[in-house]
Structure 1
Amino acid sequence: MGSNGVPINILLVDDEDNILQSLRRVLRSEPYRLFFAGSGEVALQQLESVHIDLVISDARMPGMDGATLLCQIQKRWPNCMRILLTGYTDLASTIKAINEGEIYRYISKPWDDEELRLVIRQALAFQHAERERLRLEALTQEQNRQLQELNGFLEQRVTARTAELQQTADMLDLAYEELRKSYVTATEVFASLIAQRVSKERQTNAQVLLLVKAYAQHYKLDPILSGDLAMAAALYNLGKLTWDDHLFSTPSDLLYKEDRERYRQYPETGESLLLALEPIQNAGLIIRNHQERWDGQGYPDRLAGENIPLGSRILRLAVDFIELQRGMILDRKLSRDVALLLVKKHAGRLYDPAVCELFVELCTTLAPDLALADNTIISLDVRRLEPGMVLARNLYADNGMLLLNEGKQLTRALIDKLAVFEASEGARYTLFVRMSEVKSEATTGVS
């Protein structure tokens, strides 16, 4: 049953009865009403007579194939969710379904039962969010109509109606804001689907999204840019969905020839998949240009400097910072601190120097654990250090020299030396210590 108590209807389409029976078995414990069709023509007949929320169709069928069926459904029943069951050899059919049928997801056969159930739940959640968006849009249109009627009496009732008109305008602003939040929520739901395509250690969208949201909030970016940037962060690797498995497992710097060229196409592919969704087009442009370089040697458009959209410059920093730690760029995983040093080193070549400086500050002094959240670690300056505290991260000088190793227990003499070193270098250091160590020291002091 849906959230409003109306039954959820799912139509399963396949010319092989054993496949339909397998799907029936997988979904028999789910709260859906199932309908079945052995061909695309029969499926269209059922859609004309019964309200269907979601269609799952096989790609290869005699007569009308799955991609053609889903294209027809998209044109005639665009609010019906569409999922394609496809074999690894059905690439052309899959591309057609994505481009023309605007499918929500494709699932490779043989499928994993739990993954299939999860995809269906997420597809229906996305559908619910889209229906809510349409409801808010209708509400906004109705309020606009009411506002136009009020304007007809405005000249005679300016003074008396000023407060009421202001209230109505506020309601419109709220409706538009809710509409935009609905799209942001929908993109984050879709990002969870993208994550299913890769192994857990290479699921980066959540961490990238956390970083860009923190950047936008701390540096008070324009709300519209913040929303576009959040959607772009959630969907930045959408273009990777058509990759073969070996592209996901190979660091980008080790790719060559055809694989390297295909890797470079993913930002542009990601944008193209979002073109049909007008509210996400700005996010799509951020995705398209997030692999551009400050020196103009990036791709796909070889933009340089401030010609690169600001959102793309911020997104690239977050993506590289996370992917360096996951071993997705170099042939090894970098520690958080080393990844941050490498990002800082390439300011002016890969990254906007000014944005890079703010990003590094955010990830160190202001919010050191955004990417790898650990609530047991806090940051302290030298003046607040106490003997017995234990370092949770390496401490580096401004020139990159290692000063203290992670795990080092601080003594009064060592803290005094750090204070002297700060004064002589004109620097300011932040050290990260375990919360448990701080608590134990505080307890010791009280007793």
Structure 2
Amino acid sequence: MTPTLPDNLRLLLVDDEENILRSLKRLLRREPYELVTAESGEAALRILENERIDLVISDARMPGMDGPSLLSLIRRRWPWVIRILLTGYADMESTVKAINDGQIYRYISKPWEDEELKVIVRQALAFQYSERRRLALEKLSRKQNRQLRALNENLEQQVESRTAELKETADMLDRALSELRTSYVTTTEVFSSLLNQRLPRDLQTNGRVIAVARAFAQHLELDAELTRNLEMASALYNLGKLSWSDDMLRAPSDQLTKAQTKTYRQYPEAGEQLLMTLEPLQEAAHIIRHHQERWSGRGFPDELAGDAIPLGSRILRMAVDFIELQTGLIISRRVSRDDALKLVERQSGRLYDPALCGAFVALCEGTAPDLAPTEEGVIAVDTRQLKAGMILARDLHAASGMLLLNEGKQLTRPLIEKLIAFERGEPEGTRYILFIHDPEVPEEPLMEVGIQ
């Protein structure tokens, strides 16, 4: 569940254009934050030296100190401050610098979508608050360990009492760590939607690749860590394409020019380089680097062959090709799901691990098109069937691909009403389907919200 945030959060808005600052303040004035503004990087640093700030939103291009330089300095001096960059598509060099040096939480393209920006700010603050809770629990656990060692061995009753308290604390720490690991996966899925904003909806592949890879990992009964790294790699496998032109992003790979093909062959390595500075994503980055290798040894970037290719990369390659064949990103026509499976099967032993390929095709032939069948104990409902107290069994994404709600989120009546209102703003005919843990909750009628 998303934690309840404190009511004294302070946001610093940095931009040399007064009208942009006014727009941000007007957008956020009804949010439960205290807003502070600065018109330069130097002014922002002076504020940070004298005041407590929880989150900074900075423009990329400013006279003097630019946004990426400011956020990089903030990361070194105030690492607990969440950093968000406002930029345009043309500012890709600044964006890459901010990702590498400033380790920003997110970048937002101008002009921004108001609701999306507010959601991003809330998610960033929730992530920061969860991290602070985890650190506090770790500190508490260390303190109680020291106290336990200091107890007299003869005070048996006290030892038993303190041991029970320590177990409770350890359980809380385990839950916090589990939340943190889930939040890393969720953050990568949110970040993957950045590239999707540059593509028409029918070419947005990340979500479908995640579903395919996750289903196959569960079928193979892979361990939790490898599955988690594979999911993050699936969300970010095409991160190395961020610098491509829109035309090249939409072009099938077999229609690229010689120069474009050279750029294309560099995207797995570029994606790895963007992620390697982030410790929790290093294994996912390694999977991304090798997901275009071939079983025969004629892939790229390192021409690895056979079992030398990481297992996660072999799985990701099949999932990516299966989805991109259907969306027309590999050959100059879209192929049906069945034909895509036949093409994958035909390349067994050449592009793909033959043992994995057979299992992959068998799984896809036996499951629904989205490769996400409803597991036991999970029901699919639309927004009009939701009840307070229900718990999400899967992440919920908007039509644009933006993450709306995390897996494990418990629904409240106000949250359901907001979700219904958000759904009304989507393209006509859009209806959200949510996967819910089959609950045994009392019937609680929702307030009337005017659904037609």
TM-score (norm 2): 0.72
Match of 2:101 in 1: 100
Whether 1:66 aligns to 2:67 is yes
Distance 1:361 1:128, change over 3 A: same
Q: 1:223 to 1:374 in 2, by over 3 A?
A: closer
Contact (CA 8 Å) 2:295, 2:349: kept in 1 or not?
yes
1:342 Cα shift? 0.4
User: 8 Å contact 1:363–1:370 — kept in the other structure?
Assistant: no
Alpha-carbon distance between aligned partners in 2 of 1:81 and 1:171, rounded to the nearest angstrom: 25
Distance 2:106 2:259 in 1: 26
Residue aligning to 2:130: 132
Aligned to 2:233: 232
Instruction: Give the match's secondary structure for 2:83.
Output: strand
Conserved in 2, the CA contact under 8 Å of 1:228 and 1:280? yes
Q: Partner letter of residue 268 of structure 2? A: P
Structure 1 counterpart of 2:134, which letter? L
- For 1:173-322, what aligned pairs fall within 5 Å after superposition? 176-322=177-323
1:195 offset after TM fit, Å? 2.7
Q: Contact 2:105/2:124 (CA < 8 Å) preserved in 1?
A: no
Counterpart Cα distance in 2 of 1:154 and 1:231: 47
Contact 1:208–1:371, Cα closer than 8 Å, also in 2: no
Change (3 A) 1:207 1:79: same
Using the aligned pairs only, state the percent identity. Answer: 53
Note if 1:118 corresponds to 2:119.
no
Q: CA-to-partner distance for each residue in 1:263-320, whole Å, 9 max, x for gaps?
A: 2222222222222322221111111111111111111221111111101111111111
2:141 is matched with: 143
Structure 1 contact 140–175 (Cα < 8 Å) conserved: no
Q: Which moved more, 1:239-248 or 1:4-13?
A: 4-13
Question: RCO (CA 8 Å, sep 6+): is it higher in 1 or 2?
Answer: 2
CA contact (8 A) 1:137 1:179 kept: no
In structure 2, the CA distance between the partners of 1:25 and 1:156, relative to structure 1 (3 Å rule), is closer
- TM superposition shift of 1:373: 7.4
Tell me the equivalent position of 2:395: none
Structure 2: how far apart are the matches of 1:310 and 1:124? Answer: 36
Is the CA contact (8 Å cut-off) linking 2:328 and 2:335 kept in structure 1? Answer: yes
Residue 27 (structure 1) shift: 4.2
Amino acid at match of 2:116: L
Give the secondary-structure state (helix, strand or coil) at the position aligned to 1:124.
Answer: helix
Contact 1:119-1:193 within 8 A present in 2 as well:
no
Q: Specify the SS of the correspondent of 1:259.
A: helix
One-letter amino acid matched to 1:323: E
Residue 36 of structure 2 is aligned to residue 35 of structure 1: yes
Aligned-residue RMSD, C-alpha: 3.3
- Residue identity opposite 1:37 in structure 2: A
Between structure 1 and structure 2, the one with the greater Rg is 1
**Could you report, residue by residue, the CA deviation over 1:360-395 in whole angstroms, capped at 9, with x for unpaired residues?**
111112x243348799xxxxxxxxxxxxxxxxxxxx
Contact 1:251 1:328 in 2 (8 A): yes
2: CA distance, partners of 1:252 / 1:174 = 44
Whether the 8 Å contact between 2:11 and 2:54 is mirrored in structure 1 is: yes
Alpha-carbon distance between aligned partners in 1 of 2:272 and 2:29, rounded to the nearest angstrom? 38
Letter of the structure 2 residue corresponding to residue 118 of structure 1: E
**Structure 1 residues 174 and 30, CA, compared in 2 at 3 Å: closer, same or farther?**
closer
Range moving further from structure 2, 122-131 or 338-347: 122-131
Partner of 1:51: 52
The answer to whether residue 14 in structure 2 is matched with residue 16 in structure 1 is: no
Q: SS of the counterpart of 2:119?
A: helix
Q: In structure 2, do the counterparts of structure 1 residues 105 and 178 end up closer, same or farther at CA, with 3 Å as the change threshold?
A: closer
SS state at 2:7 partner: coil
* Segment drifting more, 81-90 vs 320-329: 81-90
SS at match of 1:57: strand
The 1:173–1:72 alpha-carbon spacing in structure 2 relative to 1, beyond 3 Å, is closer
Specify the alignment match of 1:389 in structure 2.
none
Question: Offset at 1:237?
Answer: 1.9
Q: Which residue of 2 aligns with 1:370?
A: 370
Change over 3 Å in CA distance of 1:240–1:78 after alignment to 2: farther
Partner-residue secondary structure (3-state), 2:71: helix
More moved, 285-294 vs 140-149: 140-149
Quote the Cα distance in structure 1 between the aligned partners of 2:91 and 2:355: 46
Shift of 1:173: 5.3
Q: How far apart are residue 65 of structure 1 and its match?
A: 1.9
Structure-2 separation of matches of 1:179 and 1:30: 25
Is residue 325–residue 339 contact of structure 1 (8 Å, CA) maintained in 2?
A: yes
Cα 1:45–1:208 shift into 2, 3 Å: same
- Could you tell me how far apart the structure 1 residues matched to 2:359 and 2:135 are? 37
1:107 to 1:166, Cα distance in 2 relative to 1, 3 A = closer
* Aligned AA (2:50): S
Q: Which amino acid aligns with 1:311?
A: G
How many residues were matched structurally? 370
